[in-house]
Amino acid sequence: MKILKINKKLSLSNNRKPLLVAEISANHAGSKKSFLKHILEAKKSGADIVKIQTYEPEDITLKQFTNKFKIKKGTWKNKYLWNLYSKAQTPHAWHSDAFKLAKKKNITLFSTPFSERSVNFLEKFKVPVYKIASLEITDLNLIKCVAKKNKPIILSTGVANYKEIKKAINVIRKFHNKIILLHCVSGYPTPIDEINLSRIKLLKEKFKINFIGLSDHTSSYETCLGSIFYGACIIEKHFSLSKKTLDGGFSLGPKDFSILSKKIKDYYKMRGDKKFKINDSEKESLKLRRSIFVTKKMKKNEKFTRNNIKCLRPFVGLNSNLYEKIIGKKSNCNIQLNSPLKKWMIK
């Protein structure tokens, strides 16, 4: 499978620039107005696709406030899961307006569901593709529910090991093979020395999946651009209108997101096609290669030696790689000083 169709407008291919996904996540900060504005601004900032998250707190956790339900480290330190997801949720009630807006503005909108309830709810909006979040990769019931919808699935692999990824893929493959695998580090934000972009190639080799990409949680866009050289055909980056939101520390604002969108095109062009060829811009430089010149006046039948021929620019005579073969041969005619050596001049 060389092309994976998302909808009538968009498809994935390793032979074109990577698709850029803007992840809104919790960056709406609990405001429906902000949520809808994020979708619009993400598109304006160059996103090919916009992604939201579909859950309410009961889809993810229990309403418990004991120590085991408390986050100990990182960006959301000391927050209880119920409180965190109550604040970060994208309520079901917001979705209708979001998909109406997307349709009106010609925006491809899809989501990450966090429960079977959310999957069935999203089907009402005819989402073209689903995403399984990294931390849900072991929820095989959820993955099976999504796979049954027979739509492309983006599977993120943060904190997952080989066996866990394999099991998730096997569940999907019972229904279809429209799988997009994302390299991801579930550190928020991800330190530079933990990015490990080499894993993009490893995922492709290990799981024989054509479409591999990156879900990036670093604080800038350099990792996204670097992933292109490892074969990423889809790049997901969090988008936020403010750095003060829950996910703001690893999100890009409109300005940086626009820069990323433009640079993706350039970096994809830089990746090239692995072929040895002379590019148009190089053709003039060919003339500046070395060729063999006669550096002393020569008579017919005189031997070519290191004292009377030399390799110099420009490339107007015999190729300099023939130098050793010509040494010891004889001239076929008289040759003037500083003449480029030609084949017919040699016996």
Would you say residue 246 has pLDDT above 90?
no
Would you say residue 74 has pLDDT above 90?
no
pLDDT at 272: 87
User: pLDDT, tens digit, for every residue of 179-188?
Assistant: 999 999 999 9
d(CA 50, CA 8): 16
Strand partners, 14: none
| Amino acid symbol at 249 | G
**15-55+90-271 and 280-345 share one CATH topology?**
no
Average pLDDT rounded to a whole number, residues 125-133: 97
Q: Where are the domains of the chain?
A: 15-55+90-271, 280-345
Would you say residue 61 has pLDDT above 80?
yes
pLDDT at 177: 96
The structure tokens listed for 341 are 């050596």
Q: Which fold has domain 280-345?
A: Type Iii Antifreeze Protein Isoform Hplc 12 (3.90.1210)
Q: The domain at 15-55+90-271 falls in which architecture?
A: Alpha-Beta Barrel (3.20)
pLDDT at 1: 55
Mean pLDDT, the chain, integer: 96
- Residue 109's H or E segment, with its range, is strand 109-113
d(CA 103, CA 94): 15
Average pLDDT rounded to a whole number, residues 26-37: 96
Does the N-terminal peptide bond of residue 189 adopt cis geometry, omega within 30 degrees of 0?
yes
pLDDT at 274: 83
Average pLDDT rounded to a whole number, residues 70-96: 93
User: pLDDT, tens digit, for every residue of 188-227?
Assistant: 999 999 999 999 999 999 999 999 999 999 999 999 999 9
Sign of CA dihedral 65, 185, 58, 239: positive
User: pLDDT, tens digit, for every residue of 314-335?
Assistant: 999 999 999 999 999 999 999 9
Region label for 188, one of left (φ > 0), alpha (ψ between -120 and 50) or beta (otherwise): beta
For the entire predicted model, the pTM comes to 0.89
The structure tokens listed for 175 are 């229904």
**SS3 (DSSP) at 13:** strand
Burial of 299 (0-12, 13-18, 19+ CB in 10 A): exposed
By mean pLDDT, which of 27-41, 66-80, 299-313, 327-341 is the weakest?
66-80
